[in-house]
Structure 1
Amino acid sequence: MSKIPVYFMPGLAANPLIFERIKLDDTLFEVHYLEWEIPKPKESLGDYAKRMALKIKEENPVLIGVSFGGIVVQEIAKFISVRKLIIISSVKTKFEFPGRIRFARKTLAYKLIPMRLILHFGKLAQFVFGEKFSNRMKLYDTFLSVRDIGYLNWAVEKVVLWNCTVADERVIHIHGDKDWMFPIKNIEKCIVVEGGTHVMIFTKYRWFNTHLSDIILGSSFKNSNPEVSG
Protein backbone atom coordinates (compact mmCIF):
# COMPACT_ATOMS: atom_id res chain seq x y z
CA MET A 1 0.00 0.00 0.00
CA SER A 2 1.40 3.38 -0.97
CA LYS A 3 2.02 5.95 1.73
CA ILE A 4 -0.23 8.99 2.12
CA PRO A 5 1.62 12.19 1.17
CA VAL A 6 1.32 14.89 3.84
CA TYR A 7 2.49 18.44 3.20
CA PHE A 8 3.02 20.83 6.11
CA MET A 9 2.99 24.62 5.55
CA PRO A 10 4.37 26.77 8.41
CA GLY A 11 3.04 30.12 9.58
CA LEU A 12 4.04 33.60 8.48
CA ALA A 13 7.84 33.91 8.20
CA ALA A 14 8.31 30.55 9.93
CA ASN A 15 10.36 27.55 8.82
CA PRO A 16 9.53 23.84 9.08
CA LEU A 17 11.25 23.61 12.47
CA ILE A 18 7.87 24.54 13.92
CA PHE A 19 6.83 20.96 13.07
CA GLU A 20 9.90 19.22 14.48
CA ARG A 21 7.98 17.64 17.38
CA ILE A 22 5.16 16.29 15.21
CA LYS A 23 5.58 12.57 14.54
CA LEU A 24 3.50 10.62 12.04
CA ASP A 25 3.83 6.88 11.41
CA ASP A 26 6.35 6.64 8.56
CA THR A 27 4.85 3.33 7.44
CA LEU A 28 1.59 5.14 6.63
CA PHE A 29 2.61 8.69 5.78
CA GLU A 30 5.23 10.36 3.62
CA VAL A 31 5.88 13.77 5.13
CA HIS A 32 6.97 16.84 3.16
CA TYR A 33 7.58 20.42 4.27
CA LEU A 34 6.73 23.45 2.19
CA GLU A 35 8.85 26.57 2.67
CA TRP A 36 8.10 30.19 1.95
CA GLU A 37 9.19 31.61 -1.38
CA ILE A 38 9.87 35.31 -1.77
CA PRO A 39 6.82 36.70 -3.59
CA LYS A 40 7.17 38.34 -6.96
CA PRO A 41 6.42 42.08 -7.18
CA LYS A 42 2.68 42.68 -6.74
CA GLU A 43 2.00 38.93 -6.83
CA SER A 44 -1.54 38.03 -5.80
CA LEU A 45 -2.14 35.42 -3.13
CA GLY A 46 -3.84 33.23 -5.73
CA ASP A 47 -0.83 33.38 -8.07
CA TYR A 48 1.50 32.69 -5.17
CA ALA A 49 -0.55 29.66 -4.14
CA LYS A 50 -0.56 28.39 -7.71
CA ARG A 51 3.23 28.66 -7.74
CA MET A 52 3.46 26.81 -4.42
CA ALA A 53 1.17 24.09 -5.77
CA LEU A 54 3.83 23.24 -8.35
CA LYS A 55 6.03 22.00 -5.52
CA ILE A 56 3.51 19.27 -4.72
CA LYS A 57 4.28 16.27 -6.91
CA GLU A 58 2.00 13.59 -5.45
CA GLU A 59 -1.69 13.26 -6.27
CA ASN A 60 -4.36 13.84 -3.62
CA PRO A 61 -2.07 14.91 -0.80
CA VAL A 62 -3.02 15.94 2.70
CA LEU A 63 -2.37 19.66 3.17
CA ILE A 64 -1.78 20.97 6.69
CA GLY A 65 -1.22 24.68 7.25
CA VAL A 66 -0.60 26.73 10.38
CA SER A 67 -1.78 30.35 10.79
CA PHE A 68 -1.06 32.19 7.50
CA GLY A 69 0.07 28.83 6.17
CA GLY A 70 -3.50 27.66 6.81
CA ILE A 71 -4.78 30.40 4.55
CA VAL A 72 -2.23 29.50 1.89
CA VAL A 73 -3.10 25.78 1.84
CA GLN A 74 -6.75 26.71 1.38
CA GLU A 75 -5.69 28.72 -1.65
CA ILE A 76 -3.46 25.89 -2.93
CA ALA A 77 -6.42 23.50 -2.67
CA LYS A 78 -8.18 25.56 -5.34
CA PHE A 79 -5.63 24.30 -7.85
CA ILE A 80 -5.14 20.64 -6.91
CA SER A 81 -7.22 17.77 -5.58
CA VAL A 82 -6.55 17.00 -1.93
CA ARG A 83 -7.25 14.04 0.31
CA LYS A 84 -7.60 16.20 3.42
CA LEU A 85 -7.35 19.94 4.05
CA ILE A 86 -6.37 20.72 7.64
CA ILE A 87 -5.73 24.14 9.16
CA ILE A 88 -4.29 24.81 12.60
CA SER A 89 -4.44 28.11 14.52
CA SER A 90 -5.84 29.78 11.43
CA VAL A 91 -9.11 31.05 9.93
CA LYS A 92 -11.56 29.78 7.31
CA THR A 93 -13.06 33.15 6.29
CA LYS A 94 -12.45 36.84 6.86
CA PHE A 95 -15.30 36.80 9.39
CA GLU A 96 -13.15 34.78 11.79
CA PHE A 97 -10.56 37.54 12.02
CA PRO A 98 -10.47 39.52 15.28
CA GLY A 99 -11.58 43.14 15.36
CA ARG A 100 -8.05 44.54 15.20
CA ILE A 101 -7.42 42.88 11.84
CA ARG A 102 -10.78 44.04 10.48
CA PHE A 103 -9.87 47.54 11.71
CA ALA A 104 -6.48 47.35 9.98
CA ARG A 105 -8.23 46.30 6.78
CA LYS A 106 -10.69 49.17 6.93
CA THR A 107 -8.18 51.87 7.83
CA LEU A 108 -5.13 50.48 5.97
CA ALA A 109 -3.29 50.73 9.30
CA TYR A 110 -1.25 47.63 8.42
CA LYS A 111 0.71 49.80 6.00
CA LEU A 112 2.11 51.68 8.99
CA ILE A 113 3.72 48.64 10.62
CA PRO A 114 7.49 49.37 10.88
CA MET A 115 8.86 46.08 9.54
CA ARG A 116 12.47 47.28 9.64
CA LEU A 117 12.16 48.23 13.29
CA ILE A 118 10.53 44.89 14.10
CA LEU A 119 13.46 43.08 12.53
CA HIS A 120 16.10 45.38 14.00
CA PHE A 121 14.91 45.03 17.57
CA GLY A 122 14.31 41.30 17.44
CA LYS A 123 10.56 41.63 17.85
CA LEU A 124 9.63 39.53 14.84
CA ALA A 125 8.67 36.50 16.95
CA GLN A 126 6.32 38.56 19.10
CA PHE A 127 4.83 40.23 16.04
CA VAL A 128 4.26 36.94 14.19
CA PHE A 129 3.12 34.72 17.04
CA GLY A 130 1.37 37.27 19.22
CA GLU A 131 2.62 35.63 22.40
CA LYS A 132 2.94 37.79 25.49
CA PHE A 133 5.60 35.89 27.39
CA SER A 134 9.06 37.30 26.76
CA ASN A 135 10.82 34.17 28.04
CA ARG A 136 9.53 32.32 24.97
CA MET A 137 10.71 34.87 22.43
CA LYS A 138 14.16 33.35 21.96
CA LEU A 139 12.58 29.93 21.34
CA TYR A 140 10.09 31.29 18.83
CA ASP A 141 12.74 33.37 17.12
CA THR A 142 14.54 30.17 16.08
CA PHE A 143 11.48 29.20 14.04
CA LEU A 144 11.60 32.33 11.90
CA SER A 145 13.75 32.16 8.79
CA VAL A 146 12.14 34.61 6.35
CA ARG A 147 13.34 38.09 7.26
CA ASP A 148 12.95 39.70 3.87
CA ILE A 149 11.17 43.05 4.24
CA GLY A 150 9.34 42.62 0.93
CA TYR A 151 8.02 39.22 1.99
CA LEU A 152 6.86 40.49 5.39
CA ASN A 153 5.04 43.48 3.92
CA TRP A 154 3.45 41.24 1.30
CA ALA A 155 2.43 38.53 3.79
CA VAL A 156 0.88 40.92 6.30
CA GLU A 157 -1.11 42.59 3.54
CA LYS A 158 -2.33 39.24 2.18
CA VAL A 159 -3.51 38.17 5.63
CA VAL A 160 -5.31 41.43 6.35
CA LEU A 161 -6.90 41.65 2.90
CA TRP A 162 -7.86 37.97 2.57
CA ASN A 163 -11.42 38.23 1.34
CA CYS A 164 -12.79 34.71 1.67
CA THR A 165 -16.45 34.91 2.70
CA VAL A 166 -17.50 31.25 2.42
CA ALA A 167 -15.60 28.50 4.21
CA ASP A 168 -14.31 25.60 2.15
CA GLU A 169 -16.42 22.64 3.30
CA ARG A 170 -13.39 20.37 3.08
CA VAL A 171 -11.51 22.22 5.82
CA ILE A 172 -10.85 20.49 9.12
CA HIS A 173 -10.04 23.24 11.59
CA ILE A 174 -8.00 22.64 14.76
CA HIS A 175 -7.83 25.60 17.13
CA GLY A 176 -6.62 26.39 20.64
CA ASP A 177 -8.93 27.98 23.17
CA LYS A 178 -6.10 30.32 24.29
CA ASP A 179 -5.15 31.58 20.85
CA TRP A 180 -4.40 35.29 21.20
CA MET A 181 -3.85 35.99 17.50
CA PHE A 182 -7.17 34.48 16.35
CA PRO A 183 -9.43 34.27 19.45
CA ILE A 184 -11.62 31.20 19.48
CA LYS A 185 -14.74 33.28 20.14
CA ASN A 186 -14.62 34.21 16.43
CA ILE A 187 -14.02 30.65 15.20
CA GLU A 188 -16.79 28.35 14.00
CA LYS A 189 -16.82 24.56 13.65
CA CYS A 190 -13.43 23.54 14.91
CA ILE A 191 -11.74 20.86 16.97
CA VAL A 192 -10.76 22.59 20.20
CA VAL A 193 -7.45 22.01 21.97
CA GLU A 194 -7.64 23.11 25.60
CA GLY A 195 -4.86 25.48 26.58
CA GLY A 196 -3.70 25.72 22.98
CA THR A 197 -2.12 29.05 22.00
CA HIS A 198 -1.18 30.31 18.55
CA VAL A 199 1.96 28.16 18.64
CA MET A 200 0.31 24.99 19.92
CA ILE A 201 1.71 23.03 16.95
CA PHE A 202 4.93 23.16 18.99
CA THR A 203 3.78 23.47 22.60
CA LYS A 204 0.92 20.95 22.38
CA TYR A 205 2.75 18.46 20.19
CA ARG A 206 1.59 15.50 22.31
CA TRP A 207 -2.02 16.30 21.43
CA PHE A 208 -1.18 16.28 17.74
CA ASN A 209 0.91 13.13 17.99
CA THR A 210 -2.05 11.42 19.65
CA HIS A 211 -4.82 12.64 17.33
CA LEU A 212 -3.47 13.90 14.01
CA SER A 213 -3.13 10.48 12.37
CA ASP A 214 -6.76 9.62 13.16
CA ILE A 215 -7.91 12.99 11.84
CA ILE A 216 -6.04 12.42 8.59
CA LEU A 217 -7.30 8.87 8.19
CA GLY A 218 -10.86 9.86 9.03
CA SER A 219 -10.96 7.46 11.95
CA SER A 220 -13.36 7.98 14.80
CA PHE A 221 -12.26 11.11 16.64
CA LYS A 222 -13.75 12.34 19.87
CA ASN A 223 -12.95 15.93 20.74
CA SER A 224 -12.60 15.43 24.45
CA ASN A 225 -10.47 18.55 24.86
CA PRO A 226 -7.66 16.76 26.70
CA GLU A 227 -5.43 18.92 28.82
CA VAL A 228 -1.98 18.37 27.42
CA SER A 229 1.33 19.78 28.54
CA GLY A 230 3.95 20.29 25.92
Structure 2
Amino acid sequence: MSKIPVYFMPGLAASPAIFERINLDENVFETCLLEWEIPNPKESLSDYALRITKKIKHENPVLIGVSFGGILVQEMARHIETRKVIIISSVRSNTEFPRRMKIGKTTKAYKLIPMKLILNIENLAKYSFGEKVNKRIKLYEKFLAVRDLNYLQWAVESVICWNRSKIDEKVIHIHGDQDDVFPIKYINSCIVVKGGTHIMILNKYKWLNENLPSLILEQ
Protein backbone atom coordinates (compact mmCIF):
# COMPACT_ATOMS: atom_id res chain seq x y z
CA MET A 1 0.00 0.00 0.00
CA SER A 2 1.41 3.39 -0.92
CA LYS A 3 1.83 5.89 1.89
CA ILE A 4 -0.29 9.03 2.21
CA PRO A 5 1.82 12.14 1.57
CA VAL A 6 1.33 14.81 4.25
CA TYR A 7 2.87 18.25 3.69
CA PHE A 8 3.27 20.64 6.62
CA MET A 9 3.53 24.45 6.25
CA PRO A 10 4.70 26.49 9.27
CA GLY A 11 3.32 29.83 10.45
CA LEU A 12 4.48 33.36 9.71
CA ALA A 13 8.32 33.56 9.67
CA ALA A 14 8.50 30.13 11.34
CA SER A 15 10.72 27.24 10.32
CA PRO A 16 9.60 23.64 9.78
CA ALA A 17 11.25 22.93 13.18
CA ILE A 18 7.86 23.77 14.76
CA PHE A 19 6.73 20.31 13.59
CA GLU A 20 9.57 18.43 15.31
CA ARG A 21 7.21 16.87 17.89
CA ILE A 22 4.59 15.78 15.35
CA ASN A 23 5.00 12.05 14.72
CA LEU A 24 2.78 10.27 12.21
CA ASP A 25 3.05 6.52 11.65
CA GLU A 26 5.77 6.08 9.02
CA ASN A 27 4.11 2.93 7.73
CA VAL A 28 0.99 4.89 6.75
CA PHE A 29 2.12 8.47 6.12
CA GLU A 30 5.01 10.13 4.33
CA THR A 31 5.73 13.42 6.11
CA CYS A 32 7.15 16.31 4.07
CA LEU A 33 8.05 19.74 5.43
CA LEU A 34 7.59 22.92 3.42
CA GLU A 35 9.30 26.22 4.18
CA TRP A 36 8.84 29.88 3.38
CA GLU A 37 10.58 31.37 0.37
CA ILE A 38 11.32 35.05 -0.06
CA PRO A 39 8.45 36.51 -2.16
CA ASN A 40 9.12 38.15 -5.50
CA PRO A 41 8.48 41.90 -5.69
CA LYS A 42 4.70 42.57 -5.73
CA GLU A 43 3.97 38.82 -5.83
CA SER A 44 0.33 38.06 -5.04
CA LEU A 45 -0.54 35.45 -2.43
CA SER A 46 -2.12 33.32 -5.16
CA ASP A 47 1.05 33.43 -7.32
CA TYR A 48 3.19 32.69 -4.28
CA ALA A 49 0.95 29.72 -3.39
CA LEU A 50 1.33 28.41 -6.96
CA ARG A 51 5.12 28.70 -6.64
CA ILE A 52 5.14 26.73 -3.36
CA THR A 53 2.99 23.97 -4.93
CA LYS A 54 5.98 23.28 -7.23
CA LYS A 55 7.71 21.85 -4.13
CA ILE A 56 5.05 19.14 -3.87
CA LYS A 57 6.28 15.90 -5.37
CA HIS A 58 3.21 13.70 -4.78
CA GLU A 59 -0.24 13.58 -6.30
CA ASN A 60 -3.25 14.28 -4.10
CA PRO A 61 -1.37 15.24 -0.93
CA VAL A 62 -2.74 16.20 2.46
CA LEU A 63 -1.84 19.83 3.22
CA ILE A 64 -1.56 20.93 6.86
CA GLY A 65 -0.84 24.58 7.65
CA VAL A 66 -0.37 26.51 10.89
CA SER A 67 -1.55 30.14 11.29
CA PHE A 68 -0.49 32.06 8.13
CA GLY A 69 0.61 28.67 6.77
CA GLY A 70 -3.04 27.62 7.12
CA ILE A 71 -4.08 30.51 4.89
CA LEU A 72 -1.35 29.60 2.40
CA VAL A 73 -2.31 25.90 2.12
CA GLN A 74 -5.91 26.93 1.37
CA GLU A 75 -4.59 29.06 -1.49
CA MET A 76 -2.36 26.20 -2.65
CA ALA A 77 -5.42 23.93 -2.80
CA ARG A 78 -6.86 26.24 -5.46
CA HIS A 79 -4.00 25.20 -7.75
CA ILE A 80 -3.68 21.45 -7.12
CA GLU A 81 -5.85 18.46 -6.26
CA THR A 82 -5.59 17.60 -2.58
CA ARG A 83 -6.72 14.65 -0.51
CA LYS A 84 -7.43 16.92 2.45
CA VAL A 85 -6.63 20.39 3.80
CA ILE A 86 -6.20 20.82 7.56
CA ILE A 87 -5.50 24.14 9.26
CA ILE A 88 -4.29 24.64 12.83
CA SER A 89 -4.50 27.95 14.78
CA SER A 90 -5.66 29.71 11.62
CA VAL A 91 -8.82 30.93 9.84
CA ARG A 92 -10.92 29.68 6.92
CA SER A 93 -11.94 33.13 5.72
CA ASN A 94 -11.37 36.82 6.43
CA THR A 95 -14.75 36.93 8.20
CA GLU A 96 -13.01 35.13 11.09
CA PHE A 97 -10.40 37.83 11.58
CA PRO A 98 -10.52 39.68 14.92
CA ARG A 99 -11.78 43.24 14.81
CA ARG A 100 -8.30 44.78 15.03
CA MET A 101 -7.26 43.04 11.81
CA LYS A 102 -10.41 44.16 9.98
CA ILE A 103 -9.77 47.74 11.12
CA GLY A 104 -6.14 47.39 10.07
CA LYS A 105 -7.25 46.48 6.56
CA THR A 106 -9.75 49.35 6.29
CA THR A 107 -7.35 51.99 7.63
CA LYS A 108 -4.24 50.43 6.04
CA ALA A 109 -2.69 50.79 9.53
CA TYR A 110 -0.57 47.70 8.83
CA LYS A 111 1.55 49.86 6.52
CA LEU A 112 2.64 51.89 9.56
CA ILE A 113 4.03 48.89 11.48
CA PRO A 114 7.79 49.45 11.97
CA MET A 115 8.94 46.16 10.45
CA LYS A 116 12.59 46.71 11.36
CA LEU A 117 11.58 46.63 15.03
CA ILE A 118 9.72 43.38 14.48
CA LEU A 119 12.90 41.73 13.21
CA ASN A 120 14.12 41.83 16.81
CA ILE A 121 13.68 38.20 17.92
CA GLU A 122 11.46 39.01 20.90
CA ASN A 123 9.05 41.10 18.82
CA LEU A 124 9.09 38.56 15.99
CA ALA A 125 8.20 35.79 18.45
CA LYS A 126 5.25 37.81 19.75
CA TYR A 127 4.19 38.70 16.23
CA SER A 128 4.39 35.13 14.95
CA PHE A 129 3.25 33.20 18.00
CA GLY A 130 1.02 35.70 19.84
CA GLU A 131 1.24 38.04 22.82
CA LYS A 132 1.23 35.23 25.37
CA VAL A 133 4.62 33.95 24.27
CA ASN A 134 6.56 33.46 27.48
CA LYS A 135 10.02 34.78 28.13
CA ARG A 136 11.89 31.75 26.84
CA ILE A 137 12.84 33.69 23.72
CA LYS A 138 15.97 31.59 23.11
CA LEU A 139 13.64 28.62 22.68
CA TYR A 140 11.66 30.47 20.02
CA GLU A 141 14.77 31.62 18.20
CA LYS A 142 15.18 28.19 16.61
CA PHE A 143 11.56 28.24 15.41
CA LEU A 144 11.83 31.60 13.61
CA ALA A 145 13.76 31.12 10.40
CA VAL A 146 12.77 34.03 8.18
CA ARG A 147 14.19 37.38 9.22
CA ASP A 148 13.80 39.19 5.95
CA LEU A 149 12.18 42.63 5.83
CA ASN A 150 10.57 42.15 2.41
CA TYR A 151 9.11 38.79 3.45
CA LEU A 152 7.68 40.25 6.64
CA GLN A 153 6.04 43.22 4.91
CA TRP A 154 4.63 40.92 2.24
CA ALA A 155 3.39 38.36 4.80
CA VAL A 156 1.61 40.90 7.01
CA GLU A 157 -0.07 42.53 4.03
CA SER A 158 -1.01 39.12 2.57
CA VAL A 159 -2.73 38.09 5.80
CA ILE A 160 -4.54 41.38 6.45
CA CYS A 161 -5.68 41.72 2.82
CA TRP A 162 -6.62 38.05 2.30
CA ASN A 163 -9.70 38.23 0.11
CA ARG A 164 -11.38 34.90 0.87
CA SER A 165 -14.76 35.73 2.39
CA LYS A 166 -16.48 32.36 1.85
CA ILE A 167 -15.54 29.42 4.05
CA ASP A 168 -14.65 26.14 2.34
CA GLU A 169 -16.52 23.64 4.52
CA LYS A 170 -14.23 20.81 3.39
CA VAL A 171 -11.26 22.41 5.15
CA ILE A 172 -10.74 20.84 8.60
CA HIS A 173 -10.04 23.50 11.21
CA ILE A 174 -8.32 22.71 14.55
CA HIS A 175 -8.23 25.62 16.99
CA GLY A 176 -7.30 26.29 20.60
CA ASP A 177 -9.81 27.96 22.91
CA GLN A 178 -7.01 30.18 24.29
CA ASP A 179 -5.71 31.48 20.93
CA ASP A 180 -4.84 35.18 21.31
CA VAL A 181 -4.05 35.86 17.65
CA PHE A 182 -7.30 34.46 16.23
CA PRO A 183 -9.66 34.45 19.26
CA ILE A 184 -12.11 31.56 19.14
CA LYS A 185 -15.12 33.86 19.56
CA TYR A 186 -14.63 34.93 15.92
CA ILE A 187 -14.21 31.38 14.60
CA ASN A 188 -17.16 29.91 12.72
CA SER A 189 -16.87 26.22 13.54
CA CYS A 190 -13.84 24.13 14.37
CA ILE A 191 -12.46 21.20 16.33
CA VAL A 192 -11.70 22.83 19.68
CA VAL A 193 -8.56 21.94 21.64
CA LYS A 194 -9.04 22.84 25.30
CA GLY A 195 -6.24 25.03 26.64
CA GLY A 196 -4.74 25.36 23.15
CA THR A 197 -3.00 28.67 22.45
CA HIS A 198 -1.65 30.04 19.17
CA ILE A 199 1.49 27.92 19.70
CA MET A 200 -0.32 24.65 20.34
CA ILE A 201 1.67 23.01 17.52
CA LEU A 202 4.51 23.15 20.10
CA ASN A 203 2.72 22.35 23.36
CA LYS A 204 -0.39 20.36 22.36
CA TYR A 205 1.52 18.00 20.09
CA LYS A 206 0.26 14.94 22.01
CA TRP A 207 -3.34 15.85 21.12
CA LEU A 208 -2.30 16.37 17.50
CA ASN A 209 -0.34 13.11 17.32
CA GLU A 210 -3.37 11.24 18.67
CA ASN A 211 -5.98 12.90 16.46
CA LEU A 212 -4.35 13.87 13.16
CA PRO A 213 -4.19 10.28 11.77
CA SER A 214 -7.94 9.67 12.10
CA LEU A 215 -8.73 13.17 10.74
CA ILE A 216 -6.57 12.43 7.70
CA LEU A 217 -7.95 8.94 7.14
CA GLU A 218 -11.67 9.50 7.66
CA GLN A 219 -13.62 9.66 4.43
Q: Secondary structure at the match of 1:122?
A: helix
Residue 156 (structure 1) aligns with? 156
For the 8 Å contact 2:121–2:137, the answer to whether it is kept is no
Question: In 1, Cα distance between the equivalents of 2:2 and 2:132?
Answer: 43
Question: SS of the residue aligned with 1:181?
Answer: coil
Aligned-residue CA RMSD in angstroms?
A: 1.1
Q: Give, in angstroms, the shift of residue 130 of structure 1.
A: 1.1
> Normalising to structure 1: TM-score of the pair?
0.93
Q: Deviations over 1:151-182 (max 9, x none)?
A: 00000000000010111122000000000000
Task: Give, in whole Å, the separation in 2 of the partners of 1:121 and 1:17.
Answer: 16
Which runs of no fewer than 5 residues in structure 2 stay unpaired? none
Letter in 2 for 1:150: N
Provide closer, same or farther for how the CA distance between residues 133 and 83 of structure 1 changes in structure 2, counting only shifts above 3 A: closer
Which deviations, in whole Å up to 9, do the C-alpha atoms of 1:45-97 show, x marking residues without a partner?
00000001111111100000000000000000001111110000000010100
Q: Specify the alignment match of 1:207 in structure 2.
A: 207
Inter-partner Cα distance in structure 2 for 1:35 and 1:18: 11
Describe the SS at the equivalent of 2:210: helix
Residue of structure 2 equivalent to 1:125: 125
CA contact (8 A) 1:71 1:90 kept: yes
Question: Number of paired residues?
Answer: 219
Please name the residue that 1:30 is paired with.
Answer: 30
- Contact 2:98-2:183 at 8 Å conserved across structures: yes
Distance in structure 1 (CA, Å) of the matches to 2:125 and 2:44: 25
Q: Which amino acid aligns with 1:111?
A: K
Q: How does 1:140-155 map to 2 (within 5 A)?
A: 140-155=140-155
Q: Could you tell me how far apart the structure 2 residues matched to 1:103 and 1:157 are?
A: 13
* Contact persistence 1:124–1:141 (CA under 8 A): no
Q: TM-score, with normalisation over the residues of structure 2?
A: 0.97
2:84 corresponds in structure 1 to 84
SS of 1:106 mapped into structure 2? helix
Match of 2:54 in 1: 54
Letter in 1 for 2:175: H
- The Cα shift of 1:188 comes to 1.3
Which residue matches 2:104? 104
Letter in 1 for 2:88: I
1:190 aligns with: 190
Q: How far does the alpha carbon of each residue in 1:185-207 deviate from its partner, in whole angstroms, 9 at most, with x for none? A: 01112000000000101110010
Sort the Cα spacing of 1:120 and 1:172 in 2 relative to 1 into closer, same or farther, 3 A: closer
After TM superposition, where is structure 1 displaced by more than 4 Å over at least 4 residues in a row?
none
- Alpha-carbon offset, residue 131 of structure 1: 3.0
User: In structure 2, what residue type is equivalent to 1:11?
Assistant: G
Provide the rounded CA distance (Å) in 2 between the counterparts of 1:122 and 1:196: 21
Contact 1:14 1:145 in 2 (8 A): yes
